[in-house]
Chains A and B, each alone.
Chain A
Amino acid sequence: MTKSAFGRQSLRASALQALAVTTLLSLPALAADPIKIGAVLSASGPAAFLGDPEAKTLKIYVEELNKKGGVLGRQIELVLYDDGGDANKARTFATRLIEDDKVVAMVGGSTTGTTMAMIPVFEDAKVPFVSVAGAIEIIEPVRSFVFKTPHTDKTACEKIFEDMKARSLTKIGMISGTDGFGKSMRAQCLRVVKDYGITIVADESYGATDSDMTPQLNKIKNTAGLQAVVNPGFGQGPAIVTRNYGQLSIGLPLYQSHGVASKSFIDLAGPAAEGIRLPAPALLVADKLADADTQKAVVTAYKTSYEKAVGQPVSTFGGYAFDGIQLVVEAIQKAKGTDPQKIRDALEATKGYVGVTGIYTMSATDHLGLGTESFRMLEVRNGGWVEVGAR
């Protein structure tokens, strides 16, 4: 801790430093060694679009935290490994984090595959593991030491159906991509659709690389009683669906998924995107959030520091990692130590933590802790996003 660090005026920083100093005085022996937090991410390879922003986010966060004096007066040491998207390598690195580096917690697992490969290592060692991968299998059934930060496809489906119910749309068509994302989301939507009194009257699919979805959409269009259409999909497929949807003048409300919640989707789909709704995290509309919004401060701070350090636009994936490490750090603070069992208990007791992805409240039966309110329902208007509907 240097003198210049004390010069900072931020209230939070001084509070942290006060805490740090007290801990320094009371625990002189422990203060010397840093707290090791592990991370295994797919920073290279086919899943680099996930792992790269995640790895950068963790590095920026830890650097900033250490400048402020770290946690409990100790610096954080981030032990970061790149698995290249290979589940076998991820498993080896997970073993290394536990056996060799002796980390007290871990944030990582960019893909569901790498996460599932690493889970047994952390469960056996009884060390908390906060995953940043999507699938619901990671936390269902609940595993004692496994948590995750990204919302699931199920939550996205629920958000869409909530909005449909509010607009009294009860008979809907579904057109899904056959890629991993589309398949998983379709299955989750089918699972929860009945809870909203909505029936799926048409269920079509398309290949991830198809270039024309007119036949499937025509079939949906000609289904009697159709009131709206939802499109679970990722990549270019949903943009083509949107264009075809416009060409066929179907004229009914169209819902897309959080998988295409980016500016490039609007650019690809063109004028046909007008009026489309989709669920998306607050991070995407950071500059449009109301000043009174609970997430506004966190989201803007993360966006600014990431974009300043990296020079690239922020992505929701980096946001998952940000929430993951923040949750772990808060848990260490609450646990007042680095006993993995106590960190786990503190994680499970997370209540009302405001992150960039949503507001987390975990419990013994919910190791994600995000509800539908973590999504904003957005509508495309004049080529940009507008938040609509009640939250």
Chain B
Amino acid sequence: MLKSALRSRWATLAVLALTMAIVPLIAPSAFYLRVAALVWIFALAALGLTILMGYAGQVSLGHAGFLGIGAYGVAIGPTHLSLSPLLSLVLAAASSGVIAYVVGRPILRLKGYYLAIATLGFGLILALIFQSESAITGGPDGMAVARLTVFGWRIAGAMQWYWVSAGILLVGAWIALNIADSPSGRALRAVHDSEVAAAGAGVDVAAKKLAAFVAAAVYAAIAGGLLACMNGLITPDAASFMHSVEFVAMVIIGGLGSVLGAVVGAAFLIVLPQALTSLQEYEQAVLGLLIMVFMIVLPTGIVPSLRNWLAERLA
């Protein structure tokens, strides 16, 4: 009974919601709320990658590029096209999906390393565009982003952004959990295990992969839009290759294919650097070492490893 509860999607959502409710109660200052809000936003982007990498088994090294599309979408919409920030966010998420669809059709024919390199190239091109088209994007110094207003409610301050990002992540997690339990989710996992076997069982492999790629792009774009609105500024480094790698690391450290894992992975890579600042020059080295230790001790990622350990205890 308890064992099956551990695996239920409601358990995941309950743990997430409970954490979200507790953090503001124990946060000593607005700084902690900002860090938590960043965790929720980056977790949303990482969730997209969980669908693509964890469910469908396709590696993307250009995920930050889609985050950039969302971020620059909410920046460009109000500035150059006089659209409302909310509409811009919706349009940015939609265009990110469309771009993923168009680009995904040819490059998802590639497999393994080749797909990884193709997505890497795509991400680099996007970062280059954000960097050089300074008339539209403000160039290397970035551009200002209008405040997000939802039906007259102007979102500002750490507390408001905390709840907005938490709410959207909860919805994102619920959708990701539902996808996992749907026929599509099972088809994606079949593709992950063996594309040949999945095709033999009647799964339209190309279409399923493409759908996962588009979903990942939409998740990343919404996260990017939220990030840009919360900071009031976006610079091209948000779409950089290093951030793409960071997303892959979040998904793997937290636990490949686990929704809660994406959140834990994001928390790991956002909270730890803040906790390690007292080490100064050694911060990066210690962070790298901790990642190695966690991967060696918990080889399937933090969340799945702990869940299995707990399940064994309860059995």
Contact = CB atoms under 8 A, between A and B. Distances in A.
B31 A95 contact: yes
Interface string A54-89: 000000000000000000000000001110011111
A112 B237 contact: no
A44 B284 contact: yes
A91 interface: yes
Interface string B22-37: 0000001111001100
B157 to A, nearest CB: 9
Contacts of A116: 141-142, 144, 233
Interface string A146-181: 000000000000000000000000000000000010
B141 A112 contact: yes
Interface string A128-139: 000000010100
Contacts of A307: none
B139 A183 contact: yes
Contacts of B141: 111-113, 116, 135, 137, 180
Interface in B108-145: 134, 139-142, 144
B284 A87 contact: no
Contact of B227 (A88, A120, A180): A88
A95 B280 CA distance: 18
B274 interface: yes
B149 interface: no
B139 A180 contact: yes
A33 interface: no
A38 B233 CA distance: 22
Given A87-B142, A100-B29, A183-B134, A117 B233 contact: yes
Interface size class of A (residues with CB under 8 A): 20 to 34
A92 B238 CA distance: 14
A126 interface: no
B182 interface: no
Interface in B2-31: 28-31
A114 B274 CA distance: 17
Main secondary structure of the interface of B (DSSP, over half): helix
A210 interface: no
B287 to A, nearest CB: 12
Nearest to B228: A88
B160 interface: no
Contacts of A80: 280
A89 B274 CA distance: 10
Interface in A84-123: 85-89, 91-92, 95-96, 98-100, 111-114, 116-117, 120
Given A81-B277, A180-B140, A92 B38 contact: yes
A68 B284 CA distance: 33
Contacts of B231: 87-88, 91, 117
A117 B230 CA distance: 11
B244 interface: no
A81 B273 CA distance: 11
Main secondary structure of the interface of A (DSSP, over half): helix
B43 to A, nearest CB: 15
Given A81-B277, A87-B237, A92-B274, A99 B30 contact: yes
A125 to B, nearest CB: 10
A223 B38 CA distance: 55
B232 interface: yes
A232 B234 CA distance: 26
A95 B34 contact: yes
Given A82-B283, A100-B31, A87 B232 contact: no
B274 A117 contact: no
A87 B233 contact: yes
B262 to A, nearest CB: 19
A99 B274 CA distance: 14
Given A87-B233, A92-B35, A113-B235, A99 B29 contact: yes
Interface in B216-275: 227, 231-235, 237-238, 273-274
A209 to B, nearest CB: 12
A85 B141 CA distance: 11
A114 B140 CA distance: 11
Interface string B181-210: 000000000000000000000000000000
Contacts of A98: 31
A44 B273 CA distance: 14
A82 B277 CA distance: 8
A331 to B, nearest CB: 25
Contacts of A113: 140-142, 233, 235, 237
17 contacts: A82-B280, A87-B234, A87-B235, A87-B237, A88-B227, A91-B231, A95-B30, A96-B274, A98-B31, A99-B30, A100-B29, A111-B141, A112-B141, A113-B235, A117-B231, A180-B139, A180-B141
Task: List the 9 shortest-distance A-B pairs measured between CB atoms, nearest first.
Answer: A99-B31, A99-B29, A113-B235, A87-B235, A112-B141, A180-B140, A96-B31, A95-B31, A117-B233
Given A99-B29, A113-B141, 4 more contacts: A91-B233, A92-B38, A99-B31, A100-B29
